[in-house]
């Protein structure tokens, strides 16, 4: 049975006082929520230690938003997988559309980052998705397939056994737009079929999350789709009560 996951991506938001307030609201709920879903939070890197300490022993999965392509060296400003592992990080986003678009992150760079995470036994959350222009040009599946196959072709089934995939239609991130449940399900089914081309067993156990402006209002119907195993939540993950309700929407 595939694991159900709700991951919150805080992006470049938060503060020490925010984490104190957020954790005081959510920490008492985590044990109950964990009975139905794996809850993951990915704050900015400078707050990873504080968030991890605040939720210590609760079952919360600590997630990072990015990782370096290299393991150490003269790479000013970078954070290695070894450093993330050292402070208890369990999950790490790779290939987020903002990294691809704003920082020119290529598929080859994503592969290098996944390799670092696998080496340090951190679960990669591989983000894939198309822009509105690509969808309008009927290129959505072509784009997503290329992003997936870059990683699938670089590693063995064993190496990818714990990998999570997040489908994030770029046109639905931060815009308030959400793919209809039918559109989301169709792409999730396509993603699973691409993984199945490599390994049927890998496809069956791979958790695929939806990541396009998930909200309290849209969560339940999205999570009710056959191939949607959870959500990668942006803005709503900054509101403890909304995030809790989204987690509770997972059956």
Q: Is 31 a catalytic residue?
A: no
Q: 96, 105, 130, 188: which is the annotated catalytic residue?
A: 96
* DSSP secondary structure of 118-167: HHTTPEEEEEE---HHHHHTT-HHHHHHHHHHHHHTTS-TTTTTT-EEEE
Q: Is 188 a catalytic residue?
A: no
Q: How many residues does the chain have?
A: 251
Residue whose entry in the numeric block shows the structure tokens 């079952």: 59
Dist. CA 126–CA 16, nearest whole Å = 28
Dist. CA 130–CA 141, nearest whole Å = 8
Q: 105, 130, 134, 168: which is the annotated catalytic residue?
A: 168
Dist. CA 38–CA 3, nearest whole Å = 7
Written as six digits, the tokens of 232 are 């990668």
Residue among 38, 86, 35, 33 at smallest CA distance from 64: 86
Dist. CA 229–CA 72, nearest whole Å = 34
Dist. CA 119–CA 10, nearest whole Å = 25
Active site residues: 96, 168
């Amino acid at each position: 049975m595939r694991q159900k996951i709700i991951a919150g991506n805080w992006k470049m938001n938060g503060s020490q006082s925010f984490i104190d307030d957020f954790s005081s609201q959510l920490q008492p709920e985590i044990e109950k929520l964990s009975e139905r879903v794996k809850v993951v939070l990915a704050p900015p890197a400078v707050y990873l230690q504080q968030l991890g300490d605040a939720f210590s022993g609760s079952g919360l999965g600590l997630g990072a938003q990015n990782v370096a392509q290299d393991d150490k060296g003269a790479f000013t400003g970078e954070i290695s997988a070894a450093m993330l592992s050292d402070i208890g990080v369990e999950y790490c986003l790779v290939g987020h559309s903002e990294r691809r678009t704003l920082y020119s992150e290529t598929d080859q760079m994503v592969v290098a980052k996944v390799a670092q995470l696998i080496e340090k036994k951190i679960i990669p959350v591989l983000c894939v998705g198309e822009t509105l222009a690509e969808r309008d040009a009927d290129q959505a599946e072509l784009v997503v397939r290329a992003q997936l196959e870059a990683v699938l072709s670089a590693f063995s089934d064993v190496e990818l056994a714990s990998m999570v995939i997040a489908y994030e239609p770029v046109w639905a991130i931060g815009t308030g737009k959400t793919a209809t449940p039918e559109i989301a399900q169709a792409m999730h089914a396509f993603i699973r079929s691409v993984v199945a081309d490599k390994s049927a067993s890998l496809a069956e156990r791979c958790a695929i999350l939806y990541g396009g402006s998930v909200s309290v209002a849209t969560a339940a119907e999205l999570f009710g789709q056959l191939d949607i195993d959870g959500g990668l939540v942006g803005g709503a993950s900054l509101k403890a009560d909304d995030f809790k309700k989204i987690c509770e929407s997972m059956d």
